[in-house]
Copies of this chain bind each other. A is one copy, B any other.
Amino acid sequence: MQVSELGEFGLIKRFRKSIKTDASVIKGSGDDCAVLAFDKDNYQLFTCDMIVEGVDFTLKDDASLIGRKALAISLSDIAGCGGIPRHCVVSLGMPKDTRVSFIDKLFGGLSRLAKEYKVNIVGGDISRAPRIVVDLSLLGLVEKKCLVLRNGARVNDLIFVTGAIGGASFGKHLSFTPRLKEARFLVENFKINSMIDISDGLAQDLRHLLEESRLGGIIFEGLVPLSARVSDFKTAVSEGEDFELLFTLSRSEAARLMGKRIKNFFPIGQVRDKKFGVKLLDRNNKEVDFFSNGFRHF
């Protein structure tokens, strides 16, 4: 069997089953970040993301945006848990004939974003590789009372996103703003029951959140904000790399959030019980199965 038959999530599930961790691991594989014991008031967050030439970027892309992206996707994972990013290490693989000016730009984009979010670059590794590959590991902190995971959704919670969905293929995947500010505003002021960053597409990450919470839900197509350059709802919720946050909170907390009239939070659906499944109320007010239309990645 080849890995393409099993798919990314099949492989991850396969590994995860065999892993045992000790009591210092509050949450291991299976969320945006690992959650580790740290001190009386805080947990440590730990996440890594690899980007590869020809898959996540091409050599025609602006090198500084490639470096920026390498860090931004991990910042988005820290945001997904409600945390504050702190320290990163960077592994960089590249062919021998890579131009130093290209690597300078890549590193420049990364270090400017690091500075913007007060992230310390504390180490790394440089290796020869057939294509450019950047793997970044990021540590963060989150107050115990602010930690949000995927598995905390409750029946009747409202489902929100932090911004327009779709459009990664038009360049947003290289220039997005990780939603750290929004995440901290949410966890400091509201009881957020569950949250995930949308890296695999709204459809896939909604599935992750609801599966981890062992619940169902309904999305109202007409409420989902779409990127300006996207016309097709199915494509928008499937293509991935939005790096918006998807989160749920109780109806009373949601009312309080909406009362603040802040532009960046959009209610798009509601959590239901497991038996209900995951449905879409489409533009004709027809309730259809959310995943029956080819929204799955694998």
User: How many Å lie between the Cα of A50 and that of B29 in the bound state?
Assistant: 20
- Tell whether, in the assembled complex, residue A124 and residue B29 are in contact, meaning their CB atoms are under 8 Å apart: yes
Residues of B contacting A294 in the complex (Cβ-Cβ under 8 angstroms): none
User: How many Å lie between the Cα of A31 and that of B115 in the bound state?
Assistant: 22
- Whether a CB of chain B sits under 8 angstroms from the CB of A3 is yes
User: How many Å lie between the Cα of A125 and that of B15 in the bound state?
Assistant: 12
Please give me the residue from chain B that is nearest to A10 by CB atom: B100
Asked whether A51 and B127 contact (CB < 8 A) given A3-B94, A4-B97, A96-B3, the answer is: yes
Residues of B contacting A133 in the complex (Cβ-Cβ under 8 angstroms): 50, 52, 93, 129, 133, 135
User: How many Å lie between the Cα of A25 and that of B119 in the bound state?
Assistant: 11
**Most-contacted residue by chain B among A56, A92, A115 (CB, 10 A):** A92
Residues of B contacting A99 in the complex (Cβ-Cβ under 8 angstroms): 1-3
Q: In the complex, identify which listed stretch (A32-40, A143-151, A174-182, A258-266) lies at the interface while the others stay far away.
A: A32-40
- Chain A, range 119-142, C-beta contacts under 8 Å to B: 120-131, 133, 135, 137, 139
User: How many Å lie between the Cα of A5 and that of B100 in the bound state?
Assistant: 9
What number of copies of this chain does the assembly contain? Answer: 2
User: How many Å lie between the Cα of A18 and that of B120 in the bound state?
Assistant: 12
Number of A residues near B (Cβ < 8 Å) is: 70
User: How many Å lie between the Cα of A118 and that of B120 in the bound state?
Assistant: 28
- Tell whether, in the assembled complex, residue B120 and residue A21 are in contact, meaning their CB atoms are under 8 Å apart: yes
22 CB-based A-B contacts, threshold 8 Å: A1-B100, A2-B98, A3-B98, A3-B100, A4-B96, A18-B107, A24-B86, A28-B122, A29-B123, A34-B122, A36-B87, A36-B139, A46-B89, A46-B137, A48-B89, A48-B91, A48-B124, A50-B91, A50-B135, A52-B127, A52-B133, A129-B133
Write the residues of chain A forming the contact surface with B, with a CB cutoff of 8 angstroms.
1-6, 8, 11-12, 14-15, 18-22, 24-25, 28-29, 33-34, 36, 39, 46-52, 54-56, 86-87, 89-94, 96-101, 103-104, 107, 111, 115, 118, 120-131, 133, 135, 137, 139
